[in-house]
Structure 1
Amino acid sequence: MSRVVMAAALTASLLVAVPASGTAADTDYTLAIDPTAKGATIDDTMYGVFFEDINRAADGGLHAELVQNRSFEYSTADNAAYTPLTGWAPTGGTLDVVDDGARMNERNRNYLRLGLPAGVINSGYNSGLAVEKGKRYDFSAWARSDQPAGTPVHVGLTDPAGKDLAPPVEVRVKGDGWTKYTGTFAARESSTTGRLLLDAGGTGTLRLDMVSLFPQDTFKGHGLRKDLAEKIAALDPGFVRFPGGCLVNTGSHRGYEAPDFERRRSFQWKDTIGPVEQRATNWNFWGYNQSYGLGYYEYFQFSEDVGAMPLPVVPALVTGCGQNRATDDPELLRRHIQDTLDLIEFANGPADSTWGRKRAEMGHPEPFGLTHVAVGNEENLADEFFSRFTRFRAAIEARYPDITVVGNSGPDDTGANFDRLWQLNRDAGVDLVDEHYYNSPSWFLENNDRYDSYDRNGPKVFLGEYASQDNRYSNALAEAAFMTGLERNADVVKLASYAPLLSNEDYVQWRPDMIWFNNHASWGSTSYEVQKLFMTNVGDHVVKSTASGTPWSPEPITGAIGLSSWATSVAYDDVKVTSADGRELFADDFSVDGGSWTGNGAGNWGVVDGRFVQSDTAATNPLMTAGDPTWSDFTFSVKATKLSGSEGFLIPFAVNGTGNPFWWNLGGWNNTRSAVDGGNSSRVFHADDTRIETGRTYDLRVEVRDRTVRLFVDGRLWASFTDEANKNPEPFRQVVTRDEATGELIVKVVNAQSNAARTKIDLGRGAWVVPTARATVLEGLPDDVNTEFTQPVKARQTQVRVSSSFTHTFPPNSVTFLRIKDRRR
């Protein structure tokens, strides 16, 4: 079992308590601010964006190309549903896709061969090509004809019925050498279901490749889809991390010069620069083909266009993202290290250097100003990765000592691999360590103080990927609460980026996502609204502030009972639950059919020889529950026997559907460690090296009294603890920063509950402020989701009366930023 906490397998934690009816009550808080107490400096690059080609974020997304599979390189080797004509359909004649000596170049091998007369039509992405009335679109294609007089080609932009959306373009292909042909459409109608038609007349053979339709109106004229790029630019990102992510270091690691043009190789930046018709295509880790029309030059250019620091990620030759393989070819490692040095020269080298010249030839003679390079992404093989990372780092620092080389801590927020990687990074004096985690909303609320205890003298944190696991407003509220902790610890957390950035609604490999789109529209999620609010109101340094917590009346631990396992066959018997005064609440000796138990559909449960047996050794948490979720002050006993498999017993208790149960995990982590964790604090209360023997029957007993738990194994006390955590995670979070340019305090308050937060705010003696403050507020219901057609969660501006001491009521389920200006500035 990779992690102790498995509450998500049972039930979602109760994040926000919604009143049954009527107006939400007020909860009283205090917020004391000391404007004279300067805290951590916040770098201009604190918040950024992470772009990965996932969810069709590039082709069919940010890359403005409208034609899908423009070079006929799709293959079943990339996706079982693909053919070289995916996205295309014949309209007559004979055609086939071939790879022979007449190909365009070694990297663009496939082309379309038409026996004339013949035609073909492309439907783009989503439901078709989106075109807008009055806009202009540039057509291009590479072609060759074996006819001395040439071949006429009628190019149309039509709707599905064949009606022209723009006056057609007529070209004549002359000569049997590859030549680029161009034309422009002026759309006279709008459509989201457009088609690009190529209809060739005459006789003989026509060859086509790199068929393109591109809007003239792109972001700053640099080939990116305007609405998507503008939404990213509106975030005012301090950095752009690219191109991934899992697609960076997965694949075979074959060279881009491989004679068989091996697919499924790691992302290699040299494949992605130069003329687009000479760029490679590649299999994408997320299950589709990527054209590299959006390549490293475009990433650098986009970073520059939005005023952000570029932060590329290069493969470390150790696969991550669950693949867990290391490549031990020393020559391949040497070449990848050299490729990374060449990348830095491409970004920063003078225009007369080898790779700087290639950048200049693409239109950017001045350097891009690269300062950071990340090596690797989410590796689980800590020592194997770090030995290679060390080689990269030494080579980079020897030639480019001003470049910061970023390490990472794997794919999780905790665990043995995480601890080992942090130790290796710390011992080696690495400057910046990339952390990634995708967790529940309750985790983000509970971990506001995660970085409070980090070593101020150790490596700094780059939170390169994080998000809570949905796109509802409750998720965004939890993320906002967590971000106040990031800012409070800006001396430790130097960079942070929500992930993923983009998702095409018809090609979803991962959710949640910050910005959603189809072929004609885009919209920001509720998390986008939170990110935008934080990213555009950062401030220059933290100001000391202290807030009261949410009043809480402790309630006893309550809940039903459960039985489970992890990759292990187990047998349970003689289950009994009694009250504190000895009354029997529940009993099952499995002399009948186990009908008192309810399952989650996993595993293979049945009564065998008077025991309740789970026989599937591949099942992970095949949970069965029984009893009353209101039980309190109870004793739960069970006899447990391991039959086979890799671990031991998993005993949940206090199962009530309003929060995390407790999990008693005996023989976890491949039977090397045991622990008890959970409850609404999601803490580990006790852990040791207890192991479980196969075939031996254990008497297990759980005693719950109020909020104190005692656990017994064969009559011996194994652990005792009192859970003093809040019943629900703290919903009221805040941080205060100062904008030196405007002289404003930025008071940032997250109220992630359905009660209003009436707050007395004290700016301290001597504060002299302008009596009206500008407020930016996000409000909504916890289940609100922004869509193409409705965005219930959007920032609104208002004015608030303020003074050195004033009371303000923060609405239920809200994020509020108050910009309070010093009257002396």
Structure 2
Amino acid sequence: MTTPARAGLGLAVSALLAAALVPGQASAAPAEPDYTIDVDTAATGPAIDDTMYGVFFEDINDAADGGLYAELVRNRSFEFLPADREGWNGLTGWGETALAGGAGTAATPNDDARLHERNRTYLRLDLRNAAGGAYGVTNGGYGTGVAVAEGRKYDFSVWARTTAKAGTPITVRLATASGKALAKPLVLRAEGDGWVKYEGTLTATATSDAGRLSVLAKGTGTLRLDMVSLFPQDTFMGRENGLRKDLAEKIAALDPGFVRFPGGCIVNVNSHYGYDEASGWQRARSYQWKDTVGPVETRATNANFWGYNQSYGLGYFEYFQFAEDIGAMPLPVVPALLTGCGQNRATDDPALLQRHIQDTLDLIEFANGPATSTWGQLRADMGHPEPFGLTHIGVGNEENLPREYAPIFVQFRDAIKAEHPDMVVISNSGPDDQGPVFEEHWANNRANDVDMVDEHYYNSPTWFLQNNDRYDAYDRNGPKVFLGEYASQDGKLFNSLSEAAYMTGLERNADVVKLASYAPLLADVDNVQWRPDMIWFDNDESWGSTSYEVQKLFMNNVGDHVVPSRASGAVVQPEPITGSVGLSTWATAARYDDVTVTAPDGSVLLADDFEDGEADGWRSLEGRGSWSVVDGAYEQSDAAAENTMVVSPAVGATDYDITVKATKTAGREGFLLGFGVEGTGDYYWWNIGGWGNTRSVVEKATGGAKETLVAHEGESVVTGQEYELQVQVRGTQVTLLQDGVVWDTFSDDRVVEPFAQVVTRDEATGELIVKVVNAQDRPAVTRVDLGAQRVAPRARMTVITGDPGEQNTRSAQPIRPVTTTVRGISSRFTRTFAPNSVTFLRITTR
């Protein structure tokens, strides 16, 4: 099997043609091309699996409750607690409501009257209504309110018990905040002091995204309520307890090959199983799949890693079912018992480890076992007697302790393989794309003959344009790669173009990179913990980002195998590191002194010892922190402020040495020394004692997006100790010294490649799919040579292009694909690819 050569990229363009070109226009007259693409159509490159591209779902950015999970009631089981977020309580999301002489009190106890051991908190209403009065609670839903559409039906349900011997009448109202009715009220009657589920249907009489759901009781006595639910009947595929239709349809439209779930960082946080003899019920624990299956009223709730509550109404059964509904492979990830995200503590409890391993075996039985097995029967009882066909499973997420993780993974893997020898068990390589942790993980994975390794990285668009060849040198006989999380760090078209250029390299290396998923998938526009994200939504609308459009284009036009091709053209050479010196802190107070910049010959380019009591020439980039000169040193005294950088006058030299004395005086972290600072989003900095004073890294920021160049784990800064820091810059080569000892070196000398391509073949249609990315402001005149391959003169062309700074928003989505039919296609043709564009040409072969 021939592996196609890496594409050479470039910037040169014919100025004579630039003014009159339109997206994807064939050149009117012969011209010297800026790029050439030579395709070996007689050869066959790597096969591309149907599962090449998929989606990664994590409950981040309110992606589940209030997002993909279609439930319209927020805090339906009164389980919002301070353990989830400071200031929350069981009535968060609810308000007391009284009508026509209604009176009572509302509380959310956790006692023996609870609905279920895992559903512990409920609503208690002690009713003191006058005749005809009603008292109860009103829920405001998610975002601006409960969203309903005229004519649509919504299923209401509630679990209730009452001490009133004659029963308690319950009225369910759906209205706006001003009282305008959105549906005819529903009347129910609770009877008996035992939990019973009561149900009914509301039909919306108007459309609103600001509805309020009220549950009001008449009479006296004590009424207990739990699991107050309002669910649209029109869910994705009409599933009960199903998914919000517009979001699920956008995901399905990607045609993903797999669905990775449930995370992400939520997988490994606090790896308690749920109960602990010393402390009783564990509120914040790692994601336990057994908490998420069975009837929804028996499922646990949990404190989410991202700072809110997760109800588990969207659980493992629903994930498996959704994957099946959209024709995707399910890919669950289970906890590896290393806590946190950037995990810095491993379990030392062998019994707990064995329990988790058994849970994983039980999970496989739940997915694949016969309906007569223990867990297969539960699956059948939930409505799916046939197996789900699980073939891949991940163990752990972004472990930062490779030495501790490796033996734990092996125990999981060996136990799984003993019962399911064909199961692909996926390890990982930590949270970064390089560095000691990454290298140690990979060494362990190779030594342990791991099936597949999950890599994660979020980097600047420049990084993606510099690393198209990342997987060219990977061992073809070693573990395969699952690129489980990646994205360029912003949501603009230029970021999506850099991702598209990188994806041509993923496809070219499809024999190594077997799975890939952009992350995160979903984000509530009003509740965001992470950016960028692929699909955005509010309580009644959703829209795809520019990366959604690019991902969809790739995922809908994969092809069956790579056709070897080679591109030629110029590349953008790296520039020397120049700019200002930066001093900064992050949640830390520090003092800096004796800042000097010297040339290699010893001449002084900049010096400031602050002895005159002034910081002349220094300026703040962001206006953060409290900087002043105190006792002959420059101090930042606000230990809570973050990213407080101040900068010196610019250093114009390309070869220079920076020396600074730094002392931490208070706070959680260390200090930061910037160099090559050109603006608020463009700089290098040496972050010493970052991440809670646990590691030191060098990061490069480009356009506000940072990437890690060097990382040292387990390093911290001692409060009150003075450190002498030195940064030696020689063009693009950097040496860093701490107290006279070399700490590390690096070169930022990779070329930027804004032009990228790959060619694949669709066996079903016989088409060649020529995929070209032009991530620059100039058109790219390109000669394409298909060799002896005969082709039809017309081709179907899809183009995504626009302002590189544009993004899709709630109010407008300007970045969309445009598909046309183009002429002038032959075995050798010249085409001009638009500036800032992704172009797919589907060429019919003869």
**Which of 47, 54, 67 is matched with 2:60 structurally?**
54
Report the equivalent of 2:517: 497
Shift of 1:263: 0.1
On the 8 A contact 1:276/1:293 being kept in 2, the answer is: yes
Residues 806 and 213 (structure 1), Cα distance of their counterparts in 2 relative to 1, 3 Å cut: same
- Aligned residue in 1 for 2:177: 160
Separation of aligned partners in 1, 2:766 and 2:348: 56
Alignment of 1:653-732 (within 5 A): 653-657=675-679, 725-726=750-751, 729-732=752-755
Q: Give the one of 231, 246, 264 matched to 1:245.
A: 264
Displacement of 1:82: 1.3
Equivalences for residues 628-639 of structure 1 within 5 A: 628=650, 631-632=652-653, 636=656
Cα distance change on mapping 1:807 and 1:350 into 2, 3 Å: same
Do residues 432 (structure 1) and 438 (structure 2) align? no
Q: 1:594 aligns with which of 615, 632, 654?
A: 615
Question: What are the Cα deviations for residues 390-435 of structure 1, in whole angstroms up to 9, with x where unaligned?
Answer: 1111111111111111101111111211111111111000000111
Q: Tell me the distance in 2 between the aligned counterparts of 1:717 and 1:324.
A: 26
Shift in CA distance, 404/684, structure 1 to aligned 2, threshold 3 Å: closer
Following TM superposition, by how much is the alpha carbon of 1:204 offset from its aligned partner in structure 2, in angstroms?
A: 2.2
Q: CA offset at residue 260 of structure 1?
A: 3.8
The 1:97–1:288 alpha-carbon spacing in structure 2 relative to 1, beyond 3 Å, is same
SS of the equivalent of 1:108 reads: coil
Please give the per-residue CA displacement for 1:468-523, whole angstroms capped at 9, x wherever unaligned: 11111111111111111111111111111111111111221111111111111111
Provide the residue aligned with 2:82 in structure 1: 76
Give SS of 2:44's match. strand
Quick one: structure 1 residues 174 and 415, their matched pair in 2 at CA, closer, same or farther if it must change by over 3 Å? Answer: same
Q: Report what 1:12 is aligned to.
A: none
Structure 1 residue 767: deviation in Å?
Answer: 1.8
Q: C-alpha distance in 2, partners of 1:214/1:182?
A: 11
1:96 maps to 2:107: yes
2:168/2:190 contact within 8 Å kept = yes
In the alignment, which residue of structure 2 is the partner of 1:105? 116
Q: Structure 2 CA distance, aligned partners of 1:304 and 1:720?
A: 49
Deviating more after overlay: 710-719 vs 639-648:
710-719
3-state DSSP of counterpart to 2:357:
helix
Displacement of 1:115 = 2.6
Distance of 1:711 and 1:291 partners within structure 2: 48
Instruction: Quote how far apart the aligned CAs of 1:598 are.
Output: 2.6
Deviation at 1:621, TM superposition (A): 8.0
Normalising by structure 1, report the TM-score: 0.87
The corresponding residue for 2:250 is 231
How far has the Cα of 1:33 moved from its partner?
A: 1.3
Q: Counterpart amino acid of 2:368?
A: N
- Distance in 1 (alpha carbons) for counterparts of 2:725 and 2:381: 75
Q: Which structure 2 residues correspond to residues 287-302 of structure 1 after superposition, within 5 A? A: 287-302=307-322
2:816 equivalent to 1:794: yes
Q: CA deviation at 1:709?
A: 8.3
Partner of 1:254: 273
In structure 2, the residue matched to 1:28 is: 34
Aligned partner of 1:791: which letter?
A: Q
CA distance in 2, matches of 1:686, 1:209: 49
Distance 2:352 2:604 in 1: 68
Aligned partners of 1:236 and 1:306 also within 8 Å: yes
1:600-639, aligned counterparts within 5 Å?
Answer: 600=621, 623-628=645-650, 631-632=652-653, 636=656
The alpha carbon displacement at 1:224 in A equals: 0.8
Q: Which amino acid aligns with 2:320?
A: F
Q: What is the CA–CA distance in structure 2 between the aligned matches of 1:682 and 1:305, rounded to whole Å?
A: 37
Give distance in 2, aligned partners of 1:75 and 1:711: 47
1:619 positional shift: 9.5
Over residues 208-261 of structure 1, what are the superposed CA-to-partner deviations in whole Å (9 max), with x where a residue is unaligned?
Answer: 111111111111112111101000000001000111111111125133597943
Shift, 1:716, TM fit? 13
**Aligned counterpart for 1:355 among listed residues 375, 381, 385:** 375
Cα deviation 1:599-636 (Å, max 9, x = unaligned): 4467776656766678999999865433346x246x64
Which structure 2 segments of 5+ residues have no match? 1-10, 23-32, 130-134
1:9 paired residue number? none
Distance 1:148 1:381, change over 3 A: same
Partner of 1:401: 421
* Alpha-carbon offset, residue 715 of structure 1: 12
Report the Cα distance in structure 2 between the residues aligned to 1:554 and 1:673, rounded to whole angstroms: 25
Q: Secondary structure at the match of 2:564?
A: strand
Per the alignment, residue 434 of structure 2 pairs with 414
Q: Does 1:386 align with 2:403?
A: no
Q: Distance in 1 between matches of 2:258 and 2:276?
A: 32
1:677/1:685 contact within 8 Å kept: no
Counterpart in the other structure of 1:547? 567
Which deviates more from structure 2 when the two are superposed, residues 143-152 or residues 558-567?
558-567
Matched, 1:737 2:760: yes
2:288 counterpart of 1:275: no
Give, in whole Å, the separation in 1 of the partners of 2:785 and 2:284: 59
Q: Say yes or no: does 1:782 pair with 2:799.
A: no
Residue 41 (structure 1) aligns with: 47
Q: Secondary structure at the match of 1:466?
A: strand
For structure 1, which segment, 675-684 or 766-775, has the greater mean C-alpha deviation from structure 2 after superposition?
A: 675-684
Q: What is the identity, as a one-letter code, of the residue corresponding to 2:769?
A: I
- Residue 356 (structure 2) pairs with residue 336 (structure 1): yes
Q: Deviations over 1:626-662 (max 9, x none)?
A: 3346x246x6455544667999997655444599656
Report % sequence identity: 61
Distance 1:671 1:287 in 2: 22
- Determine the C-alpha separation between the residues in 2 that align with 1:686 and 1:140: 53
CA distance in 1, matches of 2:460, 2:603: 38
Root mean square deviation, CA, Å? 4.0
Aligned equivalents of 1:790, 1:675: Cα separation in 2: 38
Between the aligned partners of 1:350 and 1:722, the Cα distance in structure 2 is 56
- Give the Å deviation of 1:565: 8.7
Q: CA deviation at 1:532?
A: 0.5
Q: Show the 5 A alignment for 1:118-133.
A: 118-133=135-150
What per-residue deviation string (whole Å, max 9, x for no partner) do you get for residues 731-789 of structure 1?
Answer: 1111111111111111111111111111111111x221011110111112122111122
Farther-moved stretch of structure 1 (449-458 vs 593-602): 593-602
Q: Compared with structure 1, are the counterparts of its residues 743 and 113 closer, same or farther at alpha carbon in structure 2 (3 Å cutoff)?
A: same
- Does the Cα contact within 8 Å between 2:272 and 2:282 map onto a contact in 1? no
SS of equivalent residue, structure 1 residue 748: strand
**SS of 1:438 mapped into structure 2:** strand
Is residue 723–residue 738 contact of structure 2 (8 Å, CA) maintained in 1?
no
| Structure 1 residue 182 corresponds to structure 2 residue 205 | no
Q: Distance in 1 between matches of 2:628 and 2:216?
A: 65
SS where residue 464 of structure 2 aligns?
helix
Contact 2:269 2:285 in 1 (8 A): yes
Secondary structure of the corresponding residue to residue 445 of structure 1: helix
Report Cα offsets for 1:277-317 as digits up to 9, x if no partner.
11111111111111111111111000000000001111111
Instruction: Specify whether residues 696 and 135 from structure 1 end up closer, same or farther in structure 2 by C-alpha distance, changes over 3 A only.
Output: closer
Deviation digits for residues 3-28 of structure 1 (CA, Å, limit 9, x no counterpart): xxxxxxxxxxxx999x9xx9599982
Is the 1:79–1:287 contact (alpha carbons within 8 Å) kept by the matching residues of 2? yes
Conserved 8 A contact 1:320-1:378: no
Map of 2:4 onto structure 1: none
The alpha carbon displacement at 1:815 in A equals: 0.7
Counterparts in 2 of 1:713 and 1:166: CA distance versus 1, 3 Å: closer
